Amino acid sequence: MRNLNYQLKQLCRQNRDGSYSTQNKRSHHLMQIADQLHVLGFHGMNASSLKPKHVDALVKQWQEQELSTGTIKNRMAVLRWWAQKVDKQNVVARSNDHYGIPDRQYVTNNSKAKALHAADLEKIPDPYVRLSLELQQSFGLRREEAIKFRPGFADRGDHILLKASWTKGGKERTVPIRNAEQQALLDRIRRQVGNGSLIPADRNYVQQLRIYERLTANAGLSRMHGLRHAYAQQRYQELTGWLSPAVGGPTSKQLSPDQKVRDHEVRQMLSLEIGHTRTQILGVYIGK
C-alpha cells in the first residue's frame, strides 16, 4: 500500500466523525483520491502534503470525466475533511464556486419512489433483513437506521425515537406512529428480537449490512432509498391534502397564498421527520 493511502486510512481510524455509513464512504473516497493523485503524477505524498495544486488537478480531472455535480461536491467535502484533520484548511477554497463547480440540482419533480410488495419480501430469506426493509417503507428510515433499530428503545407509544448513533449526522429524531399497520410492524419486530436489535446476536453491523446488500441484490431490489421517497410523498399528501409535485400535484407557483403557507409548514416538519436539516433537500423527495 502506498504511503498516502496508508496514512489516510490511519486518519480515518483516528477520526470517526459521523455514522458508520458516512465513515465508510469517506474512507472509500479518500482511497480513490489517493489513487487518482498517484495516476496524475503526484508520487511520494503523505497526508500532510496536500496543496492547492493537488485540489486543482483533482477537480479538473473530475470535470473532464463529466461526473455529476453531486458526486464532485461529495468529493470536495471529503477533501475539506482531510485538509481540516491535518490542519491545512486553507488548502481547499471555502466555496465550490472557486473551482467552477455549479450548484447541485436538487429538484426535478420526477418521482424516485419505490414500493415494496409481499412478493418482494418473500424473496428475502433472512427475517431481520425483511423487517428492516419494512421499517424503511413504513417509517421512511435510512438503511442504517432500519438495521440498527431496537424496538425496546425506539417504541414510545405514539412515536419512535431514533438514537443518535443510528442516524446520519448523529442527531436523535422522532417519527410518528400514525396507524395500526405501523404498530403491528413494531410488535412483529419485538417478537423477533425481544430486547435486541435487527442485527442478530451472532453478527455485527458490518456483517448484517453485507447480508442486507447481498440478499436485496439477489432479490432484484435496488435503490431501496426510494422507499423514503414514497414515505415523504405519502406524508406530504396526508399533511397538506394534495399530491406532491413529484407525483403530479401542484407546483409551488400553482399554490394559493394559503396553500403556500401550509406547504412551507409541512416541508419544515417533514424535513425533520426524515432527518434533513435543510428543507431544500426535501425537494428531491417530493418536488417543488
DSSP, residue by residue, 189-225: HHHHHTTS-SS-TT--HHHHHHHHHHHHHHTT---TT
Given a contact cutoff of 8 angstroms between Cβ atoms, the answer to whether 19 and 168 are in contact is: yes
| Fold entry, domain 124-220 | hpI Integrase; Chain A (1.10.443)
Given a contact cutoff of 8 angstroms between Cβ atoms, the answer to whether 88 and 48 are in contact is: yes
Given a contact cutoff of 8 angstroms between Cβ atoms, the answer to whether 19 and 169 are in contact is: yes
Q: Which residues contact 139 (CB under 8 A, 6 or more apart)?
A: 160, 175, 182, 231
- Mark the ranges of the chain whose per-residue pLDDT is less than 70: 104-108
Given a contact cutoff of 8 angstroms between Cβ atoms, the answer to whether 241 and 271 are in contact is: no
Residue in the block written with cell 493523485? 37
261: left (phi over 0), alpha (psi -120 to 50) or beta: alpha
- Measure the CA dihedral 42/46/52/56, to 10°: 40
Q: Which residues contact 179 (CB under 8 A, 6 or more apart)?
A: none
Q: What is the pLDDT of residue 68?
A: 82
What is the largest distance, in Å, between two alpha-carbon atoms of the chain?
A: 62
| Whether the model pTM is above 0.85 | no
Gyration radius (Cα) of the chain, Å? 21
Helix axes 20-39, 69-85, angle to 10 degrees: 90
What are the grid coordinates assigned to 87, written together? 490542519
What is the DSSP track for 217-264? HHTT---TTHHHHHHHHHHHHHHHSS--GGGT---GGGS-HHHHHHHH
Q: What is the pLDDT of residue 279?
A: 87
Q: What is the pLDDT of residue 105?
A: 60
- Distance of alpha carbon 199 from alpha carbon 137, whole angstroms: 18
Q: What is the pLDDT of residue 186?
A: 98
Q: What is the pLDDT of residue 127?
A: 98
Q: Element (H or E) spanning 176, and its range?
A: strand 173-176
- Distance of alpha carbon 163 from alpha carbon 145, whole angstroms: 9
Given a contact cutoff of 8 angstroms between Cβ atoms, the answer to whether 106 and 283 are in contact is: yes
Q: What is the pLDDT of residue 177?
A: 98
Q: Which residues contact 31 (CB under 8 A, 6 or more apart)?
A: 5, 8, 9
- Distance of alpha carbon 167 from alpha carbon 18, whole angstroms: 9
Q: Which residues contact 190 (CB under 8 A, 6 or more apart)?
A: 151, 152, 155
CB neighbours (10 Å) of residue 212? 23
What are the grid coordinates assigned to 144, written together? 442504517
Q: What is the pLDDT of residue 108?
A: 66
Locate the domains of the chain by residue range. Answer: 3-99, 124-220
Q: What is the pLDDT of residue 258?
A: 96
